[in-house]
Amino acid sequence: MSNRTFTMIKPDATRKGDTGAILNHIVKAGFTVKAMKWTKLTAEQAGLFYEIHKERPFYGELVEFMSSGPIVAAILEKENAVADFRKLIGATNPAQAEEGTIRKLYAASVGENAVHGSDSDENAAIEGDFFFSKLERF
C-alpha cells in the first residue's frame, strides 16, 4: 500500500477564500505536503483529468466547473494516505458527508464539493504525474 495521495482544492473553495483553512485542516490531520501548486486548468486539461467520467451525465458540467477558476493541486503523504484522505474529505455529496469532514464544512453541492481526493493508489500516482514533474516533488 502506497503512502501517497493526490488532492485538488477546487474552484468553489479557492473562490470563497477557503484555501488556507482547508490546507490547515489537511496538515493538522497529519498529511505532509510533498508538492503543491496554485494553477488554473483549461477546459481541455480538466476534461483529460476527469476522462474516466466522460460517459457520466455530469461530465460537461464537471469540466466547466473545474476550469472556472484557480485550483490548488498537491501530493500528500501519510500512512494509509488514500483511504485516510477520503475519510477526511467525506462523501461526494456534502449533504451526506459526516460532520467535521472537509466537504461537510466547506462544500455547497455534489457538483461543487471543495476538494478532490484520489480513489486508489494507482490513480493517486497517475493524478500526481498529471500535475507534477519529478523536479517539482520530493
Report the candidate in 114, 134, 120 with the shortest Cα–Cα distance to residue 11: 114
Q: Is 4 annotated as a binding residue?
A: no
Set of cell numbers at residue 27: 496538515
Round to whole Å and give the CA distance between 71 and 41. Answer: 8
Q: Closest distance between ligand DAT and the C-beta of residue 108, in Å?
A: 12
C-alpha cell at 3: 503512502
Q: Is 25 a catalytic residue?
A: no
**Interface pattern 92-121 for ligand DAT (x via CB under 6 A):** x-----------------xx-x--x--x--
Return the amino acid letter for 91. Answer: A
Minimum CB–partner distance for residue 49 and ligand DAT (Å): 10
Type and span of the H or E element at 25? helix 19-28
**Judged by CB under 6 A, how many residues of this single chain contact ligand DAT?**
10
What pairs with residue 72 in β-bridges?
9, 38
Residues 11-70 that bind ligand DAT (CB under 6 A): 53, 58, 61-62
Q: How far is the CB of 92 from Mg ion (least distance, A)?
A: 7
Range list of H helices, 29-120? 43-49, 59-66, 81-89, 102-106
Is 10 within any annotated ligand binding site?
yes
Query: Residue numbers of the site for ligand DAT (CB under 6 A)?
Result: 53, 58, 61-62, 92, 110-111, 113, 116, 119
Query: Residue numbers of the site for Mg ion (CB under 5 A)?
Result: 119
- Tell me the binding residues for ATP: 10, 58, 86, 92, 103, 113
